[in-house]
Amino acid sequence: MTSPLSLHVYRALTALGTPLAGPFLAWRRSRGKEDGERLPERRGVAGIPRPAGRVVWLHGASVGEAVSLLPFVERIVRSGATPLVTTGTVTSAELLARRLPAGALHQYAPIDNPLFVRRFLLHWRPDAALVAESELWPNMIVETKRAGLPLAMVNGRISERSFRRWRRAPRTIGALLSRFDLCLARSDVDGERLAALGAPRVQVAGDIKYDAPALPADRRELAELMGQTSGRQIWIAASTHPGEEAIAVRAHLRLAEVFPDALTLIVPRHPERGEAILREVATEGLKCALRSRGARPGPETAVYICDTIGELGLFYRLAGVVFVGKSFVAGGGQNPIEPARLASAILHGPMVDNFADAYAALDSAGGALEIADPERLGEALIALFADAARLRAMARAAGDTVERRAGAVERSMKALAPILPFAGASR
């Protein structure tokens, strides 16, 4: 399989950069972005032995991709094979430690270096590899195919921005996509983009995030929080990025003019920002509490900063309205399907390219509402809390939309049948 000069150069430079991996990982560790006890995994050194039998490697970048892979993981476990899930972030590893079923394994993905990827493959000897969404790491792809493994993309997506960027390097992206035995796209648009960039075998299976199980919640904790906040107008600013917390605070101040008992929950996309958000909110004179300190939302609490991992399901069940972040700043939007599955009324900004299809479906069904101007978020909240019937109708529409669009995992598993090793012997 021929490769363009750009791919050869990339592979050579990443190989030459091997001595820099140590300082690079140490720097990331100092910023809380690496698990110090599992750093060898980032160099392809396994932290646990390879199990006997068949192994299917599933790779996702971070939390969202990892959650979307869980239905595949469960089916692979039931087949008798071992799913090996790799991700690249500490938060995704912590989440998977709680949510992977028995029989499934997690490792940190090796850095995209030829030596590290090769070392990973030599230890694990997987029978097939599935890559989630848009994880196009050149060394990972080249070394996986060099090892003779079937390779498929699941829930494939290419944003408009990425599509335009890759069109400027057609031979490079074509060389990467041509190595996939199958690309399962999440939408017609994504399928067309993948084919235009050089993927030879593309099928549209639908968005597997519609099939993801509802986010879990501790029922006892939910009951206690509901008791402590009973009768209040509760909304959540979920998966926020820097700048959106200030927007949420201004929305709270406007909402509190009409509903003085209103309670705002802020769940930052990166929980380590909790302390900084607390200081930012306090400058507005609002009484706030930080969940990571063990604080609870008391009667006087105006803003509850939920800077913990794996509890979004708890907060979605507690709040009546969900604003989904990364849609006013940073751009691209976060996953609206998770709150929609729990029948939440959804608000969002205009920057939702990463989940454009999902937001379009929810908006058209009346389960979600776009807020074009951040300064109008407070008014939108007032309108919803003042009209209980409309709020219930939005929540029902969001839940119904998710139910109608489910089924992508079954379609994907059917398409992957020739690739996955369920019926064959182990390699």
**Hey, what amino acid is at 108?**
Y
- At 57 the three-state DSSP class reads strand
Q: Please state, in angstroms and rounded to a whole number, the distance separating the CA atoms of residues 421 and 419.
A: 6
126-159 CB burial, b ≥16 within 10 A, e <16: bbbbbbbbbbbbbbbbbbbbebebbbbbbbbbbb
Interatomic CA distance for residues 141 and 268, integer angstroms: 32
Structure tokens at 242: 């820097």
| Residues in CB range of 277: below 8 A, 6 or more apart | 245, 266, 268, 305, 307
Q: Which residue has the tokens 């509903």?
A: 259
Q: Which residues contact 361 (CB under 8 A, 6 or more apart)?
A: 401, 405
**Per annotation, catalytic residue among 41, 65, 133, 143:** 65
Distance between CA atoms of residues 70 and 110, nearest Å: 20
34 given a catalytic annotation: no
- Three-state DSSP class for 399? helix
Burial of 420 (0-12, 13-18, 19+ CB in 10 A): buried
Q: In angstroms, rounded to a whole number, what is the distance separating the alpha carbons of residues 314 and 312?
A: 5
Asked if residues 254 and 382 have their Cβ atoms less than 8 Å apart, the reply is yes
What is the chain's percent helix, strand, coil content, to nearest 5? 50, 15, 35
Question: Is the separation of the CB atoms in 199 and 183 below 8 Å?
Answer: yes
Q: For residue 325, how many other CB atoms are within 10 A of its CB?
A: 27
The tokens of 208 are what? 């597997």
Residue corresponding to tokens 């400058």: 283
CA distance 415 to 427: 21
Return the DSSP state at 109: P
Which residue in the block uniquely carries the two structure tokens 């390879």? Answer: 50
Phi and psi at residue 67, to the nearest 5°: -65, -40
Strand stretches in 312-389, DSSP E: 321-324, 345-348, 368-370
Catalogue the active-site residues: 65
